[in-house]
Amino acid sequence: MSSGARLRVFAAKLKARFAQDKENREFDEELWAHLQLLTEQYLRQGMPAEEASLAARRQFGNSSLVRERHREARSFLSLSAFWRDVRFEARQLARNPLFTAIAVSSLALGIGANTAIFSAAKRVLLDTLPVTNPHDLRLLTWVSGHQQPVPQVWGDVWSTDGGGLASNAFSYLVFQEMRKRTDAVRGLIAFKDVKMTANVDRHPELVSGELVSGGAFDILGLKPILGRLLNSADDAGPGKGPVAMISEGYWAACAMLALDAAAVAGSAGTDGSVSTSGPVDRAMRS
Amino acid sequence: MGGKKSEVLQGTLDLMILKTLHALGPLHGFGIARRIEQLSEDVLQLNEGTVYTSLLRLQQQGWIVSEWGTSENNRKARFYSVTRRGLKQLAVESENWERISGVIGRVLRLERQG
């Protein structure tokens, strides 16, 4: 039997599974009608009633066996037949390892790709940020005419439908002014991604960091695992007393290099300046 | 031809039923059994119940379909008819049968050599 035919038989059985009672009744009716017709035929040939009925049964064969086979063929009732099929398929697969390998690896690739895409999409689309009120967060954008209010290197600048420009890069002065308007927002956070050098136990390395305004963690409602978080007091002014925090992931990576955790917390510095702070909440890792 | 009747060969009943439905159009199980009995001229021993097993098999393969209707003597009956897929299958099976029976015929006609 071809695989297409096999599938059709399977579908027919599946359908029958849901209409079994009706099917059984109809099939009984069909057999009964057949026996009636045979009996009538013998009666017309002049047989006595009793003999005619017997002859009809003989001609028909074992009707209960037919019914049983019919029921079995229409359903998955026969478990032994099912296992026979499973074993047969398993042998077929074993006999044709190349086909099996291709089938299994296509399945694996398909399932794997879908899982990966879903995990990424879930993070971007479904999961919320691990902060106190994720739904209250807004990213501000300015829209202008053709002039460019901030240098392009500050952040993304894109064209609007009206032929103007838009960006979410603001100057620090604008940020400071906007922060004063406490009637409009509960809190304002400035951030900018930067590459910086971290000296861990006197081993310098390039790390991806983020410059943030002091009140950021307060507004987001985060808690540190060790040490303290940045606060508004750390916004002393340009170049004055910069402080750094490291993520739990970075801390774990340093710990994996057999660096002393206390040393990590004590000596991680940026741009040569000393700073201390504990790793951020585990939830902020991503 | 008197004497012993031959059993219907395994698998050939399906082909016979398919061909019967193709030649005569929609029929109920009783009608199919009568037709095969008539054609076989009492050579074949057919348990008519097995016709239904075969009909189910053909339906599950999608080669025939069934529909309830009314028979000549005004009885409710299930009528079977060949599908397009069934026609294709019939062509394949017929050719197969011709080939095999041809081979068997030739083998049986072999003269003793040497």
- Tell me the per-residue pLDDT of A132-160, one tens digit each, with 9 for 90 and over: 887 888 888 888 877 776 777 777 788 88
Compute the 3-state secondary structure of chain B and give helix, strand, coil in percent, each to the nearest 5. 55, 20, 30
- Give every CB contact of residue A243 below 8 A, 6+ residues apart in sequence: A230, A234, A275, A276, A277
Do A222 and A229 meet the contact criterion of CB atoms below 8 Å apart?
A: yes
Q: Three-state SS for A145?
A: coil
What pLDDT score does A24 carry? 81
What pLDDT score does A249 carry? 76
Do A154 and A169 meet the contact criterion of CB atoms below 8 Å apart?
A: yes
What pLDDT score does A137 carry? 85
Which residues in chain B touch residue A62, judged by CB atoms under 8 angstroms apart?
47, 49
Cα A96 to chain centroid, rounded: 33
B57 touching A, CB under 8 A? yes
Cα A77 to chain centroid, rounded: 37
Q: How many CB atoms lie within 10 A of CB B53?
A: 19
For residue B43, with 0-12 CB atoms within 10 Å meaning exposed, 13-18 middle and 19 or more buried, which class applies? Answer: exposed
When CB atoms are compared, the residue of B52, B59, B68 closest to A12 is B59
Distance from CA of B53 to the nearest CA of A (A): 6
A61 touching B, CB under 8 A? yes
Do B13 and B84 meet the contact criterion of CB atoms below 8 Å apart?
A: no
Count of positions (residues) in chain B: 114
Inter-chain touch A30–B50, beta carbons under 8 Å: no
What pLDDT score does B84 carry? 94
**Residue written as tokens 């049983």?**
A68
What pLDDT score does A67 carry? 84
**Residue written as tokens 């478990």?**
A79
B76 touching A, CB under 8 A? yes
Residue of B nearest to A7 (CA): B61
What pLDDT score does A165 carry? 82
**Residue written as tokens 């604008």?**
A174
Average pLDDT across each block of 10 residues of chain A; the chain has 286 residues. List them in order: 73 71 83 89 89 89 84 67 82 88 93 91 78 82 76 76 82 85 82 79 78 84 79 73 74 64 41 39 35
Inter-chain touch A70–B56, beta carbons under 8 Å: yes
Inter-chain touch A33–B77, beta carbons under 8 Å: yes
Q: Mind listing the pLDDT tens digit for each residue in A65-102?
A: 888 888 777 766 556 667 788 888 888 888 888 988 99
Do A45 and A35 meet the contact criterion of CB atoms below 8 Å apart?
A: no
Q: pLDDT under 70 in chain B at which residues?
A: 1-8, 10, 113-114
Half-sphere exposure of A195 (CA within 13 A, CB side): 3
Do B69 and B77 meet the contact criterion of CB atoms below 8 Å apart?
A: yes
Q: Of A158, A253, A250, whose CA–CA distance to A210 is shortest?
A: A250
Residue of B nearest to A69 (CA): B53
- CA–CA separation, B68 and A103 (whole Å): 43
Do A65 and A73 meet the contact criterion of CB atoms below 8 Å apart?
A: no
Which residues in chain B touch residue A17, judged by CB atoms under 8 angstroms apart?
none
Q: Among B5, B53, B54, pick the best mutation site for testing chain A contact (most A Cβ within 10 A).
A: B53
Which residues in chain A touch residue B68, judged by CB atoms under 8 angstroms apart?
26
Show the tokens assigned to A94: 């074993």
Q: How many CB atoms lie within 10 A of CB B103?
A: 10
Cα A228 to chain centroid, rounded: 34
- CA–CA separation, B15 and B58 (whole Å): 9
B-facing residues of A in 6-25 (CB < 8 A) are 8-9, 12-13
Inter-chain touch A13–B60, beta carbons under 8 Å: yes
What pLDDT score does B87 carry? 94
- CA–CA separation, A138 and A52 (whole Å): 90
What pLDDT score does A107 carry? 94
Q: Where are the beta strands (DSSP E) in chain B?
A: 6-7, 27-28, 44-45, 64-70, 76-82
- CA–CA separation, A90 and A101 (whole Å): 13
Q: Three-state SS for B43?
A: coil
Inter-chain touch A60–B77, beta carbons under 8 Å: no
Residue of A nearest to B79 (CA): A30
Inter-chain touch B61–A8, beta carbons under 8 Å: yes
